[in-house]
Amino acid sequence: MAPTAPQVSEDPAAAPPRLTRVAVAGATGYAGQELVRLLARHPAVTLTAAMSSGSTSAPRPLPALKRVWDGAVAPLDVERLAANAEIVFLALPETASAEVGTALLARGVRVIDLSGAFRIRRDADRQRWYPATTALPDGVVYALPERHAAAIRNARLASCPGCYPTAALLALEPLAAAGLLEGAIVVDAKSGISGAGKTPSERTHFSENHGSVAAYAVFSHRHTAEIEQELGTRVTFVPHLVPLDRGILETIYAPLPRGTTATQIAAALEAAYASAPFVRLTGTDLPEIKHVAHTNFCDIGWRVDEAGGRLVLVAVLDNLLKGAAGQAVQNLNLMLGLDERTGLL
């Protein structure tokens, strides 16, 4: 079924719709600023608070958002978040999310978390990659909207997927579900530097990246655990940093079961995303980061070598939108029973 447009009342006497009170923690970060930008214009919510780490005691404005949102970012205050918002977005480092998310749930507030703190279900894996999260609270949902919309609607805490896993899972999950993947899958991923957040390191320093491309965290990136958890199979995931400010491109290599046709691959992907507003299938025209930068779209293209039994998929998205803030707002829309596109298209 095709998605319907956001509902707008044409009756001038109709009461204004009730706005849901939302807040953002981590509003000075890359993902947090995108959230503030989206929420300030979202027709169904009112942004009641935006908070940073508390490393500065003075409230500060967000210069890039002047005239979009003219509030001031305040130091982090969990009690104030709970008092002022029905739904709180956490765009924090995962150690802070583990603590703040649990505290908000205990106060009856729904949470949309962008960090990895609540993504991993198996205790042993979570202890390895996200040790600050000692237990998963009730009501946590792995919040990839295209796959888990029904559960997200009732989630107490929507744990948004990582940026790399979002692209990999959107490309691979329909094929795994259709039994069209067999053997060793390789996800070769390239990311712009904003994926690492705003605090510079030797690896993310401009002069280290400009004019260069580097692989990193081979066999040791925590997003591998997340992709493998959701796919239920082992994946070789190799991320690279490329000298772009934003955007992810993943080239995914997968052997196919004998006799698999290009038609079967296309049919599985088209069936999965027939009514998904933010997944655009490009078929044999392979997508590029430029097509999705500053949008909430994930574009997926593919080529099939029927004789050789090989598939190459290419998936692209904007790490700060479909990989972070945009996907979080898509989840908000599901949690509020709205059209998924509200405030995003």
Ligand X SMILES: NC(=O)c1ccc[n+]([C@@H]2O[C@H](COP(=O)([O-])OP(=O)(O)OC[C@H]3O[C@@H](n4cnc5c(N)ncnc54)[C@H](OP(=O)(O)O)[C@@H]3O)[C@@H](O)[C@H]2O)c1
Annotated catalytic, 163? yes
Q: Which is nearer to ligand X, 195 or 277 (CB)?
A: 195
The SS3 assignment for 237 reads strand
Question: Residue 91 interacts with ligand X (CB under 6 A)?
Answer: yes
Q: Which is nearer to ligand X, 28 or 296 (CB)?
A: 28
Q: In what order do the strands lie in the sheet with 140-142?
A: 74-75, 45-52, 20-25, 87-90, 110-113, 157-159, 140-142
Report the residue from 101, 145, 174, 195 that binds ligand X according to the rule CB under 6 A.
195
Those residues with Cβ within 8 angstroms of residue 269's Cβ, 6 or more apart along the chain or in another chain? 174, 175, 281, 300, 302
Q: In what order do the strands lie in the sheet with 298-305?
A: 214-215, 235-241, 185-191, 248-255, 310-317, 298-305, 279-283
Report the residue from 92, 105, 167, 289 that binds ligand X according to the rule CB under 6 A.
92
Q: Which stretch binds ligand X (CB under 6 A): 39-47, 191-199, 235-243, 306-314?
A: 191-199
Q: In angstroms, give the least distance from the CB of 8 to ligand X.
A: 31
Given a contact cutoff of 8 angstroms between Cβ atoms, the answer to whether 122 and 56 are in contact is: no
**Paired residues of 240 in beta bridges:** 190, 215
Give the Cα separation of 214 and 210 in Å (integer): 11
Over the window 144 to 163, marking each residue x when it contacts ligand X by CB under 6 A and - when it does not, the resulting string is: ------------------xx
What b/e string do you get for 292-304 counting C-beta neighbours within 10 Å, with b at 16 or more? bbebbbbbbbbeb
Compute the Cα dihedral for 158, 201, 293, 171 and give only its sign: negative
Q: Which one is catalytic: 23, 163, 272, 336?
A: 163
Report the residue from 28, 102, 260, 342 that binds ligand X according to the rule CB under 6 A.
28
Report the residue from 36, 47, 227, 320 that binds ligand X according to the rule CB under 6 A.
320
Q: Which residue is nearest to ligand X (CB)?
A: 29
Q: In angstroms, give the least distance from the CB of 44 to ligand X.
A: 23
Catalytic residue ranges = 163
Interface with ligand X (CB under 6 A): 26-32, 52-53, 55, 76, 91-94, 96, 114-115, 162-163, 194-195, 197-199, 319-320, 323-324
